[in-house]
Amino acid sequence: MKRIVVLAFVLVMLASLMLGCSKDDKTPTPAPDSQGGLPADSMAIAAERGLTPDDINAALMTYTPSGTWDEYITFMSGGHSGNLIAVGVPSMRILKNIAVFTPEAWQGYGFGNTEIEQMLDAGNVDGETIRMGDSHHPALSETAGDYDGQWIFINDKNSARVAVIDLRDFETKQIVKDPNIISNHGATFVSPNTDYIFQGAQYATPFGWEYAPLSEYQEKYRGMMTAWKFDREAGRIDPSKSFSIELPPYWQDLCDAGKLVSDGWVFCNSFNTEMATGGNMEGQPNFEASVSQRDMDYMHIIDWKKAEQVVAAGKTEEINGMPVISIPTAIEEGVLYLAPEPKSPHGMDVTPDGKYLVVAGKLDPHVTIYSFDKIQKAIASGNSTPDAFGIPILNFDDVMVAQLEVGLGPLHTQFDDKGNAYTSLFLDSMVAKWKLGGDDPAAYVVLNKVPVQYNIGHLVAAEGDTVSPDGKYLIALNKWAVDRFTPVGPLLPQNEQLIDISGDAMKVIYDMPMGVGEPHYAQMIKADKIHAINTYPEVGWDPISWQKSEFATLPGEERIERNGNEVEVFMTSVRSHLTPDRVEVKQGDHVIWHITNVETAQDATHGFQLDGHNISLSIEPGETANFEFDATNSGTYPYYCTEFCSALHLEMMGYFQVAP
Ligand code: CUK
Ligand code: CUA
């Protein structure tokens, strides 16, 4: 019986697709059979695979034939794999795994390439080489509050670092380390014109993560908000024009930058306003209990434009090279305010019009909606009570507009183009769709919900963090994938579920197993906003400095130069040979090696690995890559191209010999 229903449904749907007819179309639907050019076997396939009408619908909405491109690109953080993953929507195919904080051999990232090593080294901590990361929140660069497709930034929660990725070649260009905090979380969030990339701390430590007994937590431990200045011209964060604001040792959590009316402000939720310090072996409760005692935590409300003026006026203290606005100065200058947030808040999402802020409850089934206008009026009224550090806490009732019960474990909220909001419900494993009600508390209503599998964290809507979201698609970033995919052992992939939000009811239309990282957050941009290059602009290009490399080597210029104990190799690669194909040095020599891929054809990448030396490069068409090392061991080491570039790819090799 089910099969007959399926068959009938497929027939009608395929027919209407072929004819592009609508309900009003009076053209009679011809009998869909093989005469009409319809593949009769598609019905058989659907029946054979037991596909329901919904399945077929979902397949038709997501299947992306060979050679056709996705409408959107979603950039998903890789979590503790420390990378950033570009996924096409609606196909949900991984387009690229972008190495950021963690070495990745395919891209030749962190395996010898001199410029990349230097960039990664900029993220080292106190001489400790850090080659992992915990990437959380990607932020696309914006112009006037809209994604402009030029850059994307991402934080490393583990060591409080921020990376800059260029969307011309989808490669990481810079990593900066905050000199005063060792863990971040409310990062990265950009101001509407990407003047600043904001980074809120997470677990409080003394500045510079120095030692201080936990008994001195309130006096010595601090949170922080850092405003990293982005120089668009240079395509780099300029630490010399960046600044920080000292915050209380509450754990700042998620942040968002204001937009339109609220431009100039940044907001963070926080937890552990209890200032708990653990001690579960010393008779204290676990953190999970001790940081959840109070009924209210504090939203941090920061006037960054005013902070910028305070910095310009020199009212800062330089701590570890960073100008820092102290808490007393922030209070005096009107830079910092607090507002109560219901129990264990999470998420901070500014509505597209910039007028409202949504904070979710985590342990409270409500989302709380705050009004920026009310916040401004409350600040102007002077009605507040000081917290333990003297920071004014505005009255909850003065700033809150509505509280809406959305379900259990609300975390994050996204927006569409029709005035609706979508909140992830971790405990319910659902997405709740609700209506924004402006200043009228009664106008906020839950519209409907859709189950997701399982334990949803963040969710992302098409252009969902901009001043003009697209609606259309939403992705649920689910942490658990029990029973969803063919088993692959105890460590399961995550499940990224694509949801169609074009209609009234939400529909899950694709389950994507993410087996290369644990996405925390993502941003989804219209693909045609990104103008990625096909090959580097000129042969001999340095992708990091974005100019011709001083080591560019053209055909005919290949050479090996010796200068005392230093041997410098200038090599070219082209299908299907490396020139020179013999390099001989003496044991103890220092070897500096440059390779230029002189190809100009798109996709004619040559990789390079040197046996026994932990060296792996990816040299894209036009690129010059460099590496250096000490020839410590004598021996014979083949080097070869790692990309299967031609029929004679295996012949693309050479011998590196170290004479004793
Ligand atoms: S967050 Cu980082 S731990 Cu963005 Cu809700 Cu999950
Ligand atoms: Cu070049 Cu294989």
In the reported structure, the alpha carbon of residue 53 is separated from the centroid of ligand 2 by a whole-number distance in angstroms of 47
Q: Which ligand is nearest to the CA of 189?
A: 1
Question: Residues 149-187: pLDDT tens digits?
Answer: 999 999 999 999 999 999 999 999 999 999 999 999 999
How confident is the prediction for the chain on average, in pLDDT?
94
CB 413, CB 349: distance < 8 Å: yes
The two three-digit tokens of residue 308, written as one number: 């910028």
- Per-residue pLDDT band at 82 (split at 50, 70, 90): very high
What are the tokens at 494?
């995550």
The boundaries of every CATH 2.130.10.10 domain in the chain are 72-529
- Is 95 strand, coil or helix? strand
* Strand, coil or helix: 377: helix
Instruction: Give the pLDDT of residue 322.
Output: 98
Q: Is the pLDDT of residue 28 over 80?
A: no
| Ligand 2 proximity of 577 Cβ (cutoff 6 Å) | no
Whether the Cβ atoms of residue 10 and residue 43 lie closer than 8 Å to each other = yes
What string of H, E and C letters represents the secondary structure of 275-313? CCCCCCCCCCCCHHHHCCCCCEEEEEEEEHHHHHHHHHC
Task: Give CA 356 to chain center in angstroms.
Answer: 24
| Residue 591 CA: distances (Å) to CA of 567, 584, 614, 616, 625 | 5, 10, 14, 15, 14
Report DSSP state, residue 351: -
The structure's pTM equals 0.94
Match domain 541-659 to its CATH number in 1.10.1660.10, 2.60.40.420, 3.40.50.300, 3.30.230.10. 2.60.40.420
**CA of 629 relative to ligand 2 center, distance in Å:** 23
Within 8 A by CB and 6+ apart from 8, the residues are: none
Task: Report the alpha-carbon distance of residue 333 to residue 593 in Å, rounded.
Answer: 54
Q: Give 87-134 pLDDT, tens digit per residue.
A: 999 999 999 999 999 999 999 999 999 999 999 999 999 999 999 999
Encoded tokens for 331: 């209070």
- 657 sits in which H/E element: strand 653-659
The CA 635 to ligand 2 mean position distance, Å, reads 24
CA 640–ligand 2 middle distance (angstroms): 8
The mean pLDDT of 334-359, rounded to a whole number, is 96
What average pLDDT does range 245-271 have in this prediction? 97
**Helix (H) or strand (E) segment spanning residue 171:** strand 171-177
Instruction: List every span in the chain annotated with CATH 2.60.40.420.
Output: 541-659
DSSP codes of every residue in 172-185: EEEEEE-SS-S-EE
The pLDDT assigned to 105 comes to: 97
pLDDT bracket for residue 362 (50, 70, 90)? confident
* C-alpha 597 to ligand 2 mean position (Å): 10
pLDDT digits (tens, 9 = 90+) for 309-338: 999 999 999 999 999 999 999 999 999 999
Per-residue pLDDT reduced to its tens digit, 436-463? 999 999 999 999 999 999 999 999 999 9
Is the pLDDT at 26 greater than 50? The verdict is no
What is the token pair recorded at 386? 């000081």
Q: What is the 3-state secondary structure (H, E, C) of 31-67?
A: CCCHHHCCCHHHHHHHHHHCCCHHHHHHHHHHCCCCC
What does 182-233 look like in DSSP terms, one character per residue?
S-EEEEEEE-TTSSEEEEEE-S-BSGGG----GGGHHHH-BEEEEEEEEETT
553-593 residue pLDDT tens: 999 999 999 999 999 999 999 999 999 999 999 999 999 99
Q: Is the pLDDT of residue 2 over 50?
A: no
Q: Kindly tell me if the per-residue pLDDT of 196 is higher than 70.
A: yes
Residue pair 287/275 in contact by the 8 Å Cβ criterion = no
Please state the atom number of ligand 2 nearest to the C-alpha of residue 650: 2
Give the tokens for residue 92.
């949900």
pLDDT tens for 280-306 read: 999 999 998 998 888 899 999 999 999
Decide: 521 in ligand 1 pocket, CB within 6 A.
Answer: yes
- Report the percent of the chain where pLDDT is more than 70: 94
Q: Which ligand is nearest to the CA of 348?
A: 1
pLDDT tens track for 35-46? 344 467 888 999
Mean pLDDT of 261-290: 95
Best residue among 136, 358, 456 to mutate for probing ligand 1, ranked by most atoms within 8 Å of CB: 136
Ranges 187-196, 218-227, 313-322, 341-350: which has the least confidence:
341-350
Question: Tokens standing for 497?
Answer: 């579920």
The residue ranking higher by pLDDT, 11 or 320, is 320
Residue 289, number of CB atoms within 10 A of its CB = 12
Closest ligand 1 atom to Cα of 346: 5
Distance 107 CA to ligand 2 centre (A): 14
The CATH number of domain 72-529, selected from 3.40.50.970, 2.130.10.10, 2.30.40.10, 2.60.120.10: 2.130.10.10
Secondary structure (DSSP) of 105-119: TTTTBSSSBHHHHHH
Q: What is the pLDDT of residues 463-490, one digit of tens each?
A: 999 999 999 999 999 999 999 999 999 9
Confidence of residue 1 (pLDDT cuts 50, 70, 90): very low
Strands annotated E in 406-538? 410-415, 420-425, 430-435, 445-451, 456-462, 471-478, 494-500, 507-514, 522-526
